[in-house]
Amino acid sequence: MRIGLYDIDSAIPNLALMRISAWHKANGDSTELYIPLLHETYDKVYASSIFDFSDKSYVQDDMIIGGTGIDFKTVLPPGIDQMDPDYSLYDFKHNLGFAMRGCRFKCGFCVVPRKEGKAHSVSSIKQLITNPSGSRFLILLDNDFFGGDWESAIAEILDLDLEVNFNQGINARILSERQAQALGKVKFRNTRNTDRKLTIAWDQINDEKTVMRGVQRLMDAGIKPRYIQCYVLIGYDSSHDEDMYRVMTLRKLGIDPYVMPFDKSNTYQRRFTRWVNNRIIFKSCSWKDYTTEKSKIAS
């Protein structure tokens, strides 16, 4: 069979689609990333979406669809979910996977606890290093890395001399001194593996004390603020003043704020996100000047 794999919105290679590709190839089928114009030539098409706000206008009734952006209850069958990823689908030269699933928290804005349950380990680090390229760079997709068997994971990372991107971030609110010291020994990297970067989050204003404690522990472990990026959720339960307070507090510390809008259709959230996340604009233009200029253009 000829199989089409439709990656609707992934910023990085879609792990589920790579596993589906590996399973079909093991059963003698050919696979490729989906091309809408060739829809009628496929025997079967799988579509995967990560975000519920993504454009799904190309999704058709005869597709097998899944992913958090479609239905967070749908999961891959065990036989497919245990396949090593087919990295050739994206021509991706590095490693990707989960060492643990789930989360210890139940934040109202997050589907992870409902989708994956409580934090639990699912794989050793060594089992994730399967790319034929021999790369020692690993993108970890864990939503709560320290909720699993983190000591064994860190030991493997150091033993294998890996460079690691903690793609979903580290929970600074409950980061212990021992965990921070362990992170200080890791070669943490950004998603593109071009620079040192460790991501944390400050999602709610009331978390300031615990987030700042985590930041201090990271700095005490030798991780400089310029190597830290912090997700800032806006539009969920915060005021405009609280959004500004968080990004400016982080900026003062030398940490890069990265705004995550809860509602991308909201004009304020879109504009604030663009202002903060465009580093050149954020460092050279005030919010007042930015909004004034936007208003002039709109009129």
Average pLDDT over residues 151-155: 96
Average pLDDT over residues 169-185: 96
Residue 80's CB is within 10 A of a number of other CB atoms, namely: 16
User: What residues does 65 pair with on adjacent strands?
Assistant: 47
Between residues 106 and 221, which one has the greater pLDDT? 221
C-alpha distances (whole Å) from 117 to each of 100, 103, 104 are 11, 7, 9
Average pLDDT over residues 170-198: 96
Q: Which amino acid is at 3?
A: I
Q: Which amino acid is at 162?
A: L
Confidence tier at 53 by pLDDT (50, 70, 90): confident
- Which are the contacts of 244, defined by CB distance < 8 A and separation ≥ 6? 287
Cα–Cα distance, 66 to 185 (Å, whole number): 37
The H helix count followed by the E strand count for the chain is: 10, 13
Average pLDDT over residues 225-252: 97
Query: In a 10 Å sphere around its CB, with 0-12 CB exposed, 13-18 middle and 19+ buried, how is residue 199 labelled?
Result: buried
Q: Give the H/E segment covering residue 201.
A: strand 198-201
**Up-side HSE of residue 200: CA atoms within 13 Å toward CB?**
29
Q: Which amino acid is at 145?
A: F
How far the first Cα of the chain sits from its last, in Å, is 55
Mean pLDDT of the chain: 91
User: Looking at 77-81, 141-145, 152-156, which range is the least confident one?
Assistant: 77-81
Cα–Cα distance, 94 to 294 (Å, whole number): 40
Extents of the domains making up the chain: 1-92
Tokens 């989050």 -> residue: 201
Confidence tier at 57 by pLDDT (50, 70, 90): confident
Residue 299 has pLDDT above 50, yes or no: no
User: Looking at 19-28, 49-58, 282-291, which range is the least confident one?
Assistant: 49-58
